[in-house]
Amino acid sequence: MLQRNILIVDDDKNNVLVLGDFLKGFRLLEVSNVRETMQTAALSPFELIIINMQTKGLDTIHLIESLKRLPLTSSIPVVVLGNGVNTYVEDRAFELGVDDYINLKSSISTISSRILRVIDYQRCLKEIALKDEIAEDKIERMQKQIIESFASIIEGRDSSTGAHIKRTAAYVEIVIRGLIEAGDYLDELTDDFCESCVAAAPLHDIGKITVSDVILCKPGKLTVDEFMIMQTHARIGGKMIAETLSGMESSLMLSTAVDMATYHHEKWNGTGYPFNLVREDIPLCARIMAIADVFDALVSKRCYKEPISYEQAFDIIRDESGRHFDPKIVEVFMKLKDEVVKASDCLYPSENGV
């Protein structure tokens, strides 16, 4: 419930009493100098501060400056009651962000009406801000639901792939933490970027839903043609995400999801697909995704292969440093072997059997 307190800076009790009669429903707290005002305003919630600039010994501008400087009081609306003569104070007060300057020569009815108008206006602004906040939360929830829906579509298609996307998201998180601890790529690894990488990781193979079951679940080596079709999942996945999530509030989330899906099969030495990108031309999120993706594929049972042991998989990852993978990411991945294994064992330990 909104507080209905007004702080009034005035040394004339009669003024406060008269104003109090017109401002029904509000509790007026009275102070008479800068120190009292700052202390009181910072401790309790007020809908408004009224400053009578004729208060004895009061430096009105100094008080407004102090209120606007302090984070606890800067957002409280301020109305100045002035004599209409000192235009410097009036101009400066507006420059500092007061909400109204009312001439004390006006009738008490006019003064109170203008005060109430300021209060109503501020309430409207708060309500709009609250609605915006609720709408943003709703959009964010919808985005998460879309991502989860996409992920469950993949999971429904192939249960081993579904487990794979959850594990790879866990590896992505571990690698990002490791890179930050190692001081690598700190310019790119902002909080928003890291959050986007972990959230978008489950979508990296979304393009596979366009690949036929015959190819996706073939229990043997793919032919050249079949492999070419399989390769299309990267480009198609990126396009699908871009088209489906183009209305996303967070463009970083969208670009990260698109980059992860499109480039997660690119290789550091330029021999990957779909665009043969090299080294740091491959987006960082995709370079991280690549290592998580390959490691999990190596230690997992698939329709076309048996799993290999964690140690064998780590050996392959290390050997591919500077060829398939970004050397800095490999270094971090090897350093965090225990965490990677732990995450893999926690998520579907029975599936690997290694």
Q: Please report, as ranges, the residues that interact with Fe ion according to CB under 5 A.
A: 205
Nearer residue to Fe ion within complex by CB, 23 or 201: 201
The closest alpha carbon to 77, from 108, 27, 117, 39, belongs to: 117
Tell me how far, at minimum, the Cβ of 195 lies from Fe ion, in Å. 22
Q: Which residues contact 168 (CB under 8 A, 6 or more apart)?
A: 201, 202, 204, 289, 292, 293, 296
Question: What are the E-state strand segments in the chain?
Answer: 5-9, 27-31, 48-52, 78-82, 100-103
Reply yes or no on whether 208 is catalytic: yes
Taking the CA of residue 295 as centre, how many other CA atoms within 13 Å lie in the half-sphere pointing to its CB?
Answer: 31
Nearest Cα residue to 8 out of 26, 32, 25: 32
Evaluate the omega torsion of the peptide bond into residue 283 and state whether it is cis, within 30 degrees of 0. Answer: no
Question: 90 or 205, CB closer to Fe ion?
Answer: 205
Distance (Å, rounded) from C-alpha 294 to C-alpha 28?
A: 68
Distance of closest approach, residue 347 Cβ to Fe ion, in angstroms: 18
Three-state SS string across 192-203, please? HHHHHHHHHHHH
Kindly state the smallest distance separating residue 248's Cβ from Fe ion, in Å: 22
Of residues 114 and 164, the one with the C-beta less far from Fe ion: 164
Q: Which residue's CB is nearer to Fe ion, number 40 or number 262?
A: 262
Closer by beta carbon to Fe ion, 235 or else 279 = 235
SS3 of 176, please? Answer: helix
Q: Shortest Cβ distance from residue 212 to Fe ion (Å)?
A: 16
Task: Select the residue whose beta carbon is closest to Fe ion and give its number.
Answer: 205
Burial class of residue 159 in the structure, from the number of CB atoms within 10 Å of its CB (0-12 exposed, 13-18 middle, 19+ buried): exposed
- CA-closest candidate to residue 153, choices 201, 232, 204, 209: 209
Q: Nearer to Fe ion by C-beta: 47 or 205?
A: 205
- Tokens 């809908």 correspond to 47
Q: Would you give the end-to-end CA distance of the chain in angstroms?
A: 58
In the complex, the smallest distance separating the C-beta of residue 201 from Fe ion, rounded to whole angstroms, is 12
Minimal distance in Å, beta carbon 210 to Fe ion? 12
Selecting among 208, 218, 221, 328, the annotated active-site residue is 208
Active site residues: 208
